[in-house]
Amino acid sequence: MAADSLRTDRIWIDGAMVPYDEANVHILTHSLHYGLAVFEGMRCYKGDDGRSAIFRAKEHIRRLFDSAHIVEMCIPYSQEEVVKACADVVRINRLAECYIRPLAFYGEGEMGLSARNNKVRVAVAAWPWGAYLGEESIQKGVRLKTSSFVRFHHNSLMPMAKASGHYVNSILAGYEARRNGYDEALLLDVNGYVAEGSGENFFVVRDGMVRTPPLTSILPGITRDAVIKILRDAAIPVIEEHFPRDVIYIADEAFMTGTAAEVTPVRELDDRSIGDGKPGPITRKVVEIFRATLHGREPRYASWLYHV
Ligand code: PPE
């Protein structure tokens, strides 16, 4: 999961393009202490026509502003300005393909939980990022382990917000799974139903029917939304409903979706192979259409590409 290299020429901070080595913050940055920050992750791909495009940039930045609204943070830019900053960062660093990380956080000034006067700062960085769950993951599929960590309840933290502090839950689950030799964790919700991976949404297939958990204790993934649309357009039925883990044990296929993970097949959960342990036909079809979309080969999804 190591980044190829985070170093680029410039990072956008508070409206200015700053050299990489000067993109620093003070140790009393409020968000660093309490985890109250919101962020996004997007990917930019080089199309077959040679032009680079960010996948669903406007939707990601809309979710950034939704996340901020949920946690009562006011971002001092318009959504259009932040989308433009993302495109500018890709262009100025001459990155044909990359991962883009917008972040909004509270700066220094006051400390304490009741501080409300710290400036909201916004940054956008980008870097090349290869396969999230390993080079072989897309061909062979990954091995998951049900986590001992439960996905937080929506009255504790609100999963609709992509907030930095929420990721302590994901990181602990991911550490546990990888330490025990698995590729990724599968988190259940407080009622014991399947929620999502540490950084991916989850889909399961049986008898040609696709199921994915509803938006109660998961991040409303933009890849998840795209995949639901792709499935429905391909006349493959998909329903959003709660299901327990044993539905996955007896499934024909399973896969995970995310900006970083893209569409990654799942070949095993809790040491039980899923189907014949290889990426199945529906999974392969989704991978293929999704990949074609990202590189501009699917005219019907052309509006999902934001050219930089
Ligand atoms: N659930 C979680 C908890 C999550 O973090 C992500 C994205 C998703 C689902 C999928 O959402 P979307 O990217 O909109 O399809 N995880 C990001 C974090 C990766 C990281 O390690 O950092 C990502 O994929 O960019």
* For range 185-195, the mean pLDDT: 98
CB 73 within 8 A of CB 118: no
Instruction: Mark which of 127, 147, 176 sits at the end of a domain.
Output: 127
CB 257 within 8 A of CB 201: yes
Instruction: List CB contacts of 162: < 8 A, sequence separation 6 or more.
Output: 38, 39, 40, 63, 64, 67, 219
- Measured in whole angstroms, the distance separating CA 132 from the mean position of its chain's CA atoms is 10
Q: Which atom of ligand 1 is nearest to the CA of 198?
A: 3
User: Same domain for 199 and 98?
Assistant: no
Q: Is the CB of 200 under 6 A from ligand 1?
A: yes
Q: Which atom of ligand 1 is nearest to the CA of 101?
A: 25
Instruction: Mark which of 107, 127, 147 sits at the end of a domain.
Output: 127
User: Same domain for 286 and 161?
Assistant: yes
User: Same domain for 88 and 232?
Assistant: no
302 located within any domain: no
Whole-structure pTM value: 0.97
31 located within any domain: yes
pLDDT in tens, 142-159: 999 999 999 999 999 999
pLDDT in tens, 15-34: 999 999 999 999 999 999 99
pLDDT in tens, 39-49: 999 999 999 99
Q: Is the CB of 40 under 6 A from ligand 1?
A: no
Q: Note if 162 is an active site residue.
A: yes
**Which of 219, 224, 256 gets mutated to test ligand 1 (max ligand atoms within 8 A of its CB)?**
219
Q: Is the CB of 164 under 6 A from ligand 1?
A: no
> Residue 10's domain is classified under what CATH number?
3.30.470.10
Q: Which atom of ligand 1 is nearest to the CA of 222?
A: 14
**Which of 147, 200, 229, 230 gets mutated to test ligand 1 (max ligand atoms within 8 A of its CB)?**
200
Residue type, 127: W
pLDDT in tens, 54-87: 999 999 999 999 999 999 999 999 999 999 999 9
In the 8-state DSSP scheme, what is residue 21? G
Which of the four pLDDT bands, split at 50, 70 and 90, describes residue 1? Answer: very low
Q: Total domain count for the chain? A: 2
Q: What is the distance in A from the centroid of ligand 1 to the CA of 226?
A: 14
User: Same domain for 178 and 75?
Assistant: no
> Domain range for residue 246?
135-294
* Predicted pLDDT of residue 3: 47
* Predicted pLDDT of residue 135: 83
User: Same domain for 179 and 286?
Assistant: yes
Return the residue whose CA atom lies nearest to atom 3 of ligand 1: 199
Exactly one of 162, 229, 278, 285 is catalytic; name it. Answer: 162
Tell me: pLDDT of 253 over 80.
yes
User: Same domain for 85 and 203?
Assistant: no
Instruction: Mark which of 81, 100, 127 sits at the end of a domain.
Output: 127
User: Same domain for 27 and 118?
Assistant: yes
* Predicted pLDDT of residue 150: 98
pLDDT in tens, 81-137: 999 999 999 999 999 999 999 999 999 999 999 999 999 999 999 999 998 988 899
300 located within any domain: no
65 located within any domain: yes
301 located within any domain: no
* Predicted pLDDT of residue 4: 54
User: Same domain for 94 and 118?
Assistant: yes
User: Same domain for 90 and 202?
Assistant: no
User: Same domain for 225 and 103?
Assistant: no
Return the residue whose CA atom lies nearest to atom 9 of ligand 1: 200
Query: Rounded mean pLDDT of the chain?
Result: 97
CB 170 within 8 A of CB 293: no
Q: Is the CB of 166 under 6 A from ligand 1?
A: no
> Residue 207's domain is classified under what CATH number?
3.20.10.10
User: Same domain for 150 and 278?
Assistant: yes
